[in-house]
Structure 1
């Protein structure tokens, strides 16, 4: 299988979206700036993907599942959180079209799904090793993946 880890540049992928894997609770400026800059240089939209999970207390305290209105309220909070994180980047890069995408999925699943229609995926890496999420994305993404150390 071909390795999809790209060094210092992003392939533009025929103006297909640049996917940014972003944790809106712990955003990494270097990663976000790299993805916005890549989208600008490519003339492509930026697809910012924030994956989230239900709070542990919700899963354990509701034996019959989470009420739809509770799930919706939590999701609204995640959407607002991502919007707040992206606001200064939208101002810095006004020519980049941004699609903010909040998914109730594991991060690897959300990024792999987004990569099916993308020209590139940009993700961050803390530390020296690729964790299980990054390994899965790098090995299975449908486009080139850039891993930005942060």
Structure 2
């Protein structure tokens, strides 16, 4: 049986040989929803030392391959993990054809059911971008956000 990652901290490598961390707040099969934090580490913290910092990305990802091949490292589960303290956020989507149309992308609390509704561009700016990524794509997005 696969390990449930919810409540676990994962270290994700960056292009400059530092790491950022992610807290997996939900999992549905092989898809996880994580909050990725801006603080960079040259040495990984222990689970007891870890503290959340500014959120730089919230994303759905299939990161098991990154863990399986050793690119990503599992630091452990938060000792006081309470899923109710970490909300499933509303994310934004932009229509790929009519780029003036934006959507609020909403999952239920278990990230099993998905709905969306049209929102204004101003409201869209208040949400993180919606996306489902593989582990390498997450690394690329984080590198772009931190080094561009």
**TM over 0.5: same fold?**
no
TM-score when scaled to structure 1? 0.32
TM-score in terms of structure 2 length: 0.32
Higher helix share: 1
More strand by share: 2
